[in-house]
Structures are given as structure tokens and as C-alpha cells.
Amino acid sequence: MILPEKYQLLRKNFRNFAETEFTDELQKKLDIEGGYEAEMYHKMARYGFTGIKIPVEYGGQGGDSLAYVLMIEEFARVCPVLAIYANTPNSLGGGPLVMCGNEEQKKKYLPDIASGKKHIVFALTEPGAGSDAGGTLTTAVADGDDFILNGRKCFVSGAPIADYAIIYAKTDPSAKGSRGISMFIVDLKLPGVTIGKAEAKMGINGYPTSDITLDNVRVSKADLLGPLNDGFRMAMKTLDGGRLGISAQALGLAQGCREEAIRYAKERKQFGKPIAANQGVSFMIADMATEIEAARELIYQTAIAKDANSPDSSMKCAMSKYFASEMANRVAYKAVQIFGGYGYIKDYKVERFYRDARIMSIYEGTSQIQQLVIANTLLR
């Protein structure tokens, strides 16, 4: 797709920021030490990136899905984990508030999220409810002006550094399956909240992931988000946007792999000529580039379809995530192959891209769950 000038300029700005700020030293430090780079988060906030999709009246930039996709793509092209910093407040964290918050909630929470003062995360998964997220066992029982929450969420990206979490809990125990679930904004400083130890992960190190345990946590009824007992449907709508973000992350990572692989294939000589001069290598590059272009077209079209409320946009978000995340894994595999033994060594960026790619076909719904969403839409 030939992008209108406005988007080309945006892309240039995002690319400049990522290439200037996401230094190799910072990326290596995050990969080796894990942890979290708060200063980078605040810097992104100062540039307006943490609020790109948050409406202007609540302190954000009011950008559309295409602008958001371009930002995540460009950030992930340089560093997939730092792309998550800009993703969470716009997507799974801030998204439910923008979509379902009442005026009071939006005014209370969104400006601080957009400005980077507060960090909000999304807690749907539980130890026994992953792909089957509707099988949530966390409960919320009304008690006077509050709800009392009990349960355990796992794999929550950003939990160890977050101020708030969007928590899904069963409010109608008699309702079957994914019915009777509600959404809450939970202040993670409330008594009874315990944040678990950060998981040791294969990739995307530098944005910690952990459990959140809720033990008789008293949450004000004012923090019920969206309609009572309709939280699961809201979670699925939130995940449409989230999946678009993961598609863009996968696309950016694949583009980064492609650029690394082309540069190296031209430089590296074996048998007296650059390895790129071998058809076996150049065809891998042709395949990488073709798949990336196909994903890019699908993702940009999906972003436009989503903002136009096209009836098939949920399915397209699933298709984008499915195709782009699997594509990124194939591309990262080929990039490591082109680097040979050096691709297996941590000094080379493709080694990290390869590990970072692996989560993309798992989180926010595995590839199999995307296939289910696509098939169920087509066959209903």
C-alpha cells in the first residue's frame, strides 16, 4: 500500500526515534539483565507515544489504528521488547478504558496513562484458563459499595511495574462458560494484591511478566468497567486491537531480520564470493521479503477496516496476527540460517530476534486460537 504523506511522515518520526534511542547497549542490557527501563517509558510518553490511540480530550494523541500499527512496526524493527512499552498503554491496558470507561473513569485514569505517570496492564489469563480464557475462576462478589475479588492471574505482562490492572472475574457464578464475567480496574497497591516473581523468559526480556494474586481485595463498585456480566465480550473486543498490535510487532521484527540478513549476505564471503551470490541464500531472502510484504498489506488493510467498523474486522485481526506471527518465526529462522554459526551467537541481533519471535504466535491467543476465530467466523 502506498501510504498517504501524513503516514509516511509519522513512520519517519517513529523510525528516527527508535534508531536514535534504542541503542545496541540498551537492547543488550535489557536482554541480559531483564528488568525494565523506566526512563525509556517516560521518554516515549514525552513524545506522545504512550497515548497515541488515547483520545485528545483525555490527554492522548487521538491517532488511528494505522498510525498505531506504524509505530509498533517501526519500534519492533529495532527492538521488539521496547515496542511493548508503547503498545500496552494504547492496547490491552488503556484500550478497555477507552472502549468501556464512563466519563468519570476516563477522566480519572486515562490522562495519567497517556502521560506515562501510571502504568496499566491486562490480566485475563489464569493457570487453568489460557486459551479457554472464559473459564476464569477469579471471583468478584458484591459487598456494599465494593466487590471482593479472589483469584490468581498469570503471565501478566508488565505486572511487576504496573500501578493498575484490568482484571476479569466471574460475577455471576450461575452463568455458564464465558458468561457472567465482569471487568474491573484494580489498583495494585490495594491490600490483598500480591505481585509474583518475574518469570525467566526465552525472549522479550526487559518487560517483566508475573502472576497477580488477589486475596479478598476490596474494589470499589466505581471501578467496575463496562457492563456487569459482559466482561468477556469486552475482553474479546480489546483483543482485536491487541492482535493488530502483535501483528505489527511481528512485522517489524521480520523487517529487522530481513535488513540484517541482506546486509550480512552481501558482506560475508565464502568460496571467494559473498554468500548472497548463491541462489540458495538469495532465494531465502526473496521468500522473506515476499512474506513480509504480504503481511504488511494484510495488517494495514486490517487497521483501516477496524477503524471503519467493518463487520469482518475481528476476523481480519485474527488473520493478521496468525499470518504475521507465523511469518515472523519463519523469517527469523531464515535470518539465523543466513548468519550461519554467527546467528547462534548472542553478539548478533538475529539471535535475539529469533527468540523474541517465538512468543508472537502464543500471546494474545495462540495461532490455533486465531485459526478457531477465523474458522468460526467463516462457518457460522
User: 204 or 254: whose CB is closer to ligand FAD?
Assistant: 204
Which residue ranges make up the site for ligand FAD (CB under 6 A)? 121-125, 130-131, 155-157, 201, 209, 359, 362-366, 368-369, 372
- Is residue 105 within 8 A of residue 187, CB to CB? The reply is no
Kindly state the smallest distance separating residue 213's Cβ from ligand FAD, in Å.
Answer: 14
Of 125 and 178, the one with the shorter C-beta distance to ligand FAD is 125
Report whether 125 contacts 155 (CB < 8 A).
yes
CB of 211 to ligand FAD, least distance (A): 11
Active site residue 126: no
> Helix or strand or coil: residue 363?
coil
Report the C-alpha gap between 348 and 268 in whole angstroms.
14
> Positive or negative CA dihedral for 316, 317, 319, 323?
positive
CB of 276 to ligand FAD, least distance (A): 35
Longest pairwise C-alpha distance within the chain: 79
> For residue 183, what are the contacts with CB-CB under 8 A and spacing of at least 6?
96, 100, 166, 167, 168, 224, 225, 226, 231, 234, 235
Contacting residues for 128 by C-beta, under 8 A, at least 6 apart: 135, 137
Helix (H, G, I), strand (E, B) or coil at 107: helix
CA dihedral (129, 132, 242, 179) positive or negative: negative
Which residue sits closest to ligand FAD, CB atoms considered? Answer: 130
CB nearer ligand FAD, residue 156 or residue 261: 156
Nearer CB in complex with ligand FAD: 157/313: 157
Q: Which H or E element spans position 273? A: strand 273-274
State which residue, 27 or 136, has the beta carbon closest to ligand FAD.
Answer: 136
Handedness of CA 136, 142, 147, 148 (dihedral sign): negative
**Calpha distance 353→148 (Å, rounded):** 42
Cβ proximity to ligand FAD, 209 vs 255, nearer residue: 209
Choosing from 73, 326, 351, 364, which is the catalytic residue?
364
Nearest residue to 324 (alpha-carbon basis) of 348, 303, 344: 303
| Nearest approach, Cβ of residue 87 and ligand FAD (Å) | 10
Q: One-letter amino acid identity for 106?
A: K
Count of CB atoms within 10 A of residue 254's CB?
32
Rounded to 10 degrees, what is the CA torsion of 61, 66, 72, 74? -110
Residues catalogued as catalytic: 364
